[in-house]
Amino acid sequence: MALFGRSRDDAATNSISFTVEPREVAPGGELVVRVDVGGDLDASARAVRVTLEGHANYQAKVTRSYGTEDDSTTSTTEEWQSYSLHKDERELPAQSGSVDVAFRLPRNVPPSSSGAVTWTVSARIDRHGKDPVARAEIVVRHGSDSVPTSRAPQQQDDGLTLDLPVAVRAGDTLSGTLTVAVGKDITARAVLVRLYRKVTYTAAPMDAGTFYGGSTLSAFPFTGKGLITSESMLAEAEVSGKHDFAGGSVEQLPFSVVVPASGGPTTAHAYARVEWRVEAVVDRRMRADYSVETPLAVR
C-alpha cells in the first residue's frame, strides 16, 4: 500500500502530489517517491524539490528570567526541541508531469517512534513565495535481523518467571508463558500481563549506543539531572481470573497480548530513549501483589 501526500495552489492552478513505495522501510533500505505535478507552471516556478528528512524530538526543561536585575523572577517549563537526523533534498526541473525519485536511508539511523523520532517525505513547487507543499510521514522500522538475541536475567524474588520472545513487531501479538512457583499458598484475584512504554528525555547528550542497548536487552541506566520521564500502560491481558496457587507447586500460564502499533518501536537518539517492558502481576486482595517484569524490544 502506497503512502500519499497532496497539495494544491488554487490561485496558480497547480497541484503537487506523491506516493511512496514501500510505506515502511528499514535503515539502509530504499524507497521510491513518485511525484506528480499538475497544471502549467509559470515563470515564477524555479524548481520542484523532493525531500526525505528525519528529526529527533525531545522535551527539555527551559528556565527563563523576567524583570530587572534587581527584581527578577524565573520560570521553568518543559518545551519541545528537535534537531535534524538526516536530510536529503533533490532538485527537479520546474515542469508538469510525473517523475520517480529514489532515496536510500543511512544504515545507522534510528527508527520512527512517537514523541522521539519522525521521518517525513515532502514535495514542493519552489516559486519564491507561497509554495504548494505535499508532506507525509513514513515509517522507518528495523528488521527482525537487527534486534537483540537475548535479554538480561529476570528478578524472581516472588517466584514468577516470564518466558517470551526478546523482540516483537509493533501491531503484532506477543505470546508467552508465565511460570508461577510460589513458596506458600496464595490466592489471586486475577493474574495480569501488562505492556508499558517509557520515554525518557535527558538534559545532556547521552551515549545512545544501539537502539536496543546491545545484543543483550536490558533496561537502560540513566544518570544525571534534568530527566523528563513519561510511562504509559498501553495494553493489559487477563491471564487468569481468581485462582489458588499451592506452595511448592509449579504452574505455567500461557498468555497473548497485542502490542499497539500506535506506540512505536524502541528507539534512541542523543536526548531521548523509548523503551518497552512486560510486567506480570498476581493481584492479591488486601495483600502485597506478586510481580515480575522484563524488557521487550519493539521493532
DSSP string, the chain: --EEEEEEETTTTEEEEEEEESSEE-TT-EEEEEEEEES---TT--EEEEEEEEEEEEEEEEEEEEE-SSSEEEEEEEEEEEEEEEEEEEEE-S-SEEEEEEEE--TTPPPPBTTTEEEEEEEEEE-SSS--EEEEEEEE---GGGS-SEEPPPP-TTSEEEE--SEE-TTSEEEEEEEE--SS-EEESEEEEEEEEEEEE-SS-----STTSSSEE------SS--EEEEEEEEEEEEESSEEE-TT--EEEEEEEE--GGG---EEETTEEEEEEEEEEEE-TTSPPEEEEEEEEE-
Digitized pLDDT (tens) for each residue of the chain, 299 residues in all: 345 555 555 445 788 999 999 989 999 999 999 999 998 888 888 899 999 999 999 998 877 777 766 777 888 788 889 999 999 999 999 999 999 999 999 988 999 999 999 999 999 999 877 778 899 999 999 877 777 778 777 666 689 999 999 999 999 999 999 999 999 999 999 999 999 999 999 887 876 555 555 566 766 666 666 789 999 999 999 999 999 999 999 999 999 999 998 888 999 898 999 999 999 999 999 889 999 999 999 98
Asked if 136 and 5 touch (Cβ cutoff 8 Å), the reply is: yes
| CB-CB neighbours of 146 under 10 Å | 18
Domains 3-141 and 147-298 share a fold: yes
The residues spanned by each domain of the chain are 3-141, 147-298
Provide the residue type at 171 as one letter.
G
The cell for 148 is: 537483540
pLDDT score, position 40: 84
Report the CATH fold assignment for 147-298: Immunoglobulin-like (2.60.40)
d(CA 44, CA 126): 8
The cell for 40 is: 502549467
Q: Is the peptide bond before 221 cis (omega within 30 degrees of 0)?
A: no
- CA-based torsion, 229, 233, 234, 239: positive or negative: positive
pTM, 2 dp: 0.84
Residues 6+ apart with CB under 8 A from 84: 53, 54, 55, 56
d(CA 42, CA 132): 13
Q: Does the domain formed by 3-141 have CATH 2.60.40.840?
A: yes
> Which residue, 277, 266, 272, is CA-closest to 228?
272
The cell for 218 is: 536490558
